Amino acid sequence: MVFSSAVFLFAFFPLYILVVSLVRNVKVCNIILMVMSLIFYAWGEPLYILLMLFSMLVNYLVALPAESCGNVNSVKRHTLLALDVIFNLTMLGVFKYAGFLVSSVNSIFNAQISVPEIPLPVGISFFTFQTMSYVIDAYRGSCKVQKDPIKFMLYVSFFPQLIAGPIIKYHDIEQQLSKRSTSVGKISDGIRRFIVGLSKKMLLANVFGEIVDNIYALDGSDLNIVLAWAAAIGYCMQIYFDFSGYSDMAIGLGKMAGFTFMENFNYPYTARSIRDFWKRWHISLTTWFREYVYFPLGGNRKGELRTGINRMIVFLLTGLWHGAMWTFVLWGIFHGVFQLLETYAIHPEKWKYKPLSHLYAMAVVAVGFTIFRAESVPQAFRLICDMLIGFNFTNIGLAQVRTLFTTYNALIMFAAVIAATPIVANLASRFAEKYNAHTVVTCAKYAASLVLMAICMMTLASSTYNPFIYFRF
């Protein structure tokens, strides 16, 4: 079940609103939300819900002895924590990376090992990282052990963020599982945030997605510099509005129930460097790797060489986290290299001409997402070559170029550029402050949300193209 489906919007969503509006007892609400979350996951993954429940059970039981394991350096504490990390990484490795590893061995050593075809459980990277972070925090003493199985199951399975994030660390919502409140204001704000995310997904991401898919479906000989850049820019827009739209919907749904989830995006396409970009893009994943990988490796406390190695490890793992393909690994290394270049050499954030630093950052991001979107490393290099020297215009290529330059596409691109920047939010805030018109601005936001919701409903009725990119990660 996806948030932009008719089943969710016309059945599950109204029922959820009813529950969070009427059920005031937190314990009862937790049980209902946990059951609803399991139904939500089972709707699309009827078999793999058993895998998620097994993961919950193991991590719940392993964390229970944390408070009685003695001091931080005790052997028992380290042993249990190590076993839990091994369990989680093994589960992730089997279901997500087994086929990739066997295929790589076959390619490198010319072996004939049978490649296992294991369907990827939706959201496995997200709920595995959440359960693992909980156990790590419990053994670090960063949070109390959760002995109530209902609260723990709700933390892991809560449907808004279950299958595509943001990644919620247990210590961030530990108190909210026991004590939280909701109100008409929170519910209405949550609904409005949900509509904003739904609009990003349906009215922008899906449009760019169809354009990008059409270009990638072309034969390589028909591509040219215009189409290559159109695909790169289009995919940048698609993945941003797809993923940030999902995050907006998740945050809005959480707010309706009284939960406060961390922001996952902060206008990443306004960044002036790759370092700045990663402070704004998929913030929950960035903070997870910083807290549970970068700092334990030593962070920047052991000299420049070790710092550089630690950063490369983090970005290599970031790429691999996104998928079992060499393109993702290459994408992670690509961003890691630019992180090091910016730290020790080029320093774009200090450039006097700010538009140049922004242009540099966006060019690097576009090339990186070309690698990310490609179905193979050779295709990625071919597309990057076309972005640089693709001046071979075939009849089919020219016909595709003409289809790009329509009034509708121009309007969508204009709307996307506006939506990817804080322009509207800043103007609304300044207007409200200058003219003391906070009520007017709030009413305008809700009116705009109703209009957007109506447009989304009409789009849903007339379109069959509705993928979520991050469901496969």
Helices (H), 294-422: 295-297, 303-322, 326-344, 354-373, 377-389, 395-404, 407-419
Q: Please confirm, yes or no, whether 322 is among the known catalytic residues.
A: yes
Q: What are the backbone dihedrals phi and psi of residue 217, each rounded to the nearest 5 degrees, phi first? A: -75, -15
In order of 252, 400, 426, the CA distances from 141 in angstroms are 30, 58, 41
Residues 6+ apart with CB under 8 A from 423: none
Residue 85 in contact with residue 132, Cβ under 8 Å? yes
Tokens of 313: 């490890």
Task: Give the number of other Cβ atoms within 10 Å of residue 100's Cβ.
Answer: 18
Smallest Cα–Cα separation from 333: which of 395, 301, 390, 341? 341
Q: 14: cis peptide before it, omega within 30°?
A: no
Q: What are the backbone dihedrals phi and psi of residue 366, each rounded to the nearest 5 degrees, phi first? A: -65, -45
Residue 469 in contact with residue 239, Cβ under 8 Å? yes
Radius of gyration of the chain (CA): 23
Residue 218 in contact with residue 400, Cβ under 8 Å? yes
Considering the candidates 282, 322, 335, 358, report the single residue annotated as catalytic.
Answer: 322
Cα(235)–Cα(209) distance, rounded to whole angstroms? 7
Cα(199)–Cα(190) distance, rounded to whole angstroms? 14
Smallest Cα–Cα separation from 249: which of 160, 163, 354, 351? 160
Burial class, 206, CB count within 10 angstroms (exposed 0-12 / middle 13-18 / buried 19+): buried
Task: Give the number of other Cβ atoms within 10 Å of residue 352's Cβ.
Answer: 6
* Active site members: 322
